[in-house]
């Protein structure tokens, strides 16, 4: 399914960019969200401390989707505070592109969408990431996983080689 994200407001932050840098178009950033294998999810614990964990995610329908066990720390954190940050990129200094996506995580329970997401997980990550869908959740190896959707509210792109910082604001 094609993404239909309206083009966000795009700004280059000259404070953190080289003189010759140009802002990165959102249409150039989206493929990196689609192809990235690993993301770092930041949630907020009930006492206000951050919690960061690596996970897998897929970009579909203008959002990032991830899953977790309902008893895991990140699911508990999201029950109290849905604000999250998902980060991905190249773990290098002078080449690559890093992305930071801010938004609210909302539970995805639509079984038609969940089936498409389950297929996307298996296509992207292989047969070890096969999920069955029932009761508004993923099931794999007998375990239940709840699925969350994060539509970007703000995103940042950090270019390397020619250092740049692009900010995308979504309406």
Write down the pLDDT at residue 5. 55
Query: Per-residue confidence of the chain (171 residues) as pLDDT tens digits?
Result: 444 557 899 999 999 999 999 999 999 999 999 999 999 999 999 999 999 999 999 999 999 999 999 999 999 999 999 999 999 999 899 999 999 999 999 999 999 999 999 999 999 999 999 999 999 999 998 899 999 999 999 999 999 999 999 999 998
Name the pTM for this structure.
0.94
Q: Distance between CA 122 and CA 126 in Å, rounded?
A: 5
**Pairing verdict, β 132-134 and 39-44:** unpaired
Strands (E), 36-163: 39-44, 50-55, 58-60, 63-68, 83-88, 97-108, 132-134, 137-140, 143-159
Cα gap 91→169, rounded to integer Å: 25
Cα gap 11→18, rounded to integer Å: 14
> What are the structural domains of the chain?
10-169 (2.30.110.10)
For strand 50-55 and strand 39-44, is the pairing parallel, antiparallel, or unpaired?
Answer: antiparallel
Q: What is the pLDDT of residues 94-109, one digit of tens each?
A: 999 999 999 999 999 9
- The encoded tokens of residue 77 equal 């954190």
């Amino acid at each position: 399914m094609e993404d239909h994200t309206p083009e966000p407001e795009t700004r280059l932050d000259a404070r953190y960019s080289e003189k010759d840098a140009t802002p990165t178009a959102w249409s150039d950033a989206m493929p990196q969200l689609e192809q990235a294998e690993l993301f770092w999810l930041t949630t907020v614990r009930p006492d206000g401390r951050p919690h960061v964990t690596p996970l897998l995610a897929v970009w579909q329908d203008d959002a990032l989707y991830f899953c977790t066990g309902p008893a895991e720390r990140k699911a508990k954190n999201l029950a109290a505070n849905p604000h999250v940050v998902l980060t991905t990129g190249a773990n290098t200094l002078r080449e690559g592109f890093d992305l930071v996506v801010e938004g609210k995580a909302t539970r995805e329970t639509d079984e038609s969408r969940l089936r498409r997401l389950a297929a996307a997980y298996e296509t992207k990550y292989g047969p070890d990431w096969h999920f069955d869908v029932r009761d508004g959740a993923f099931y794999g190896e007998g375990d239940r996983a709840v699925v969350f959707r994060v539509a970007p509210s703000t995103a940042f792109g950090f270019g390397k080689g020619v250092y740049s910082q692009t900010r995308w604001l979504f309406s």
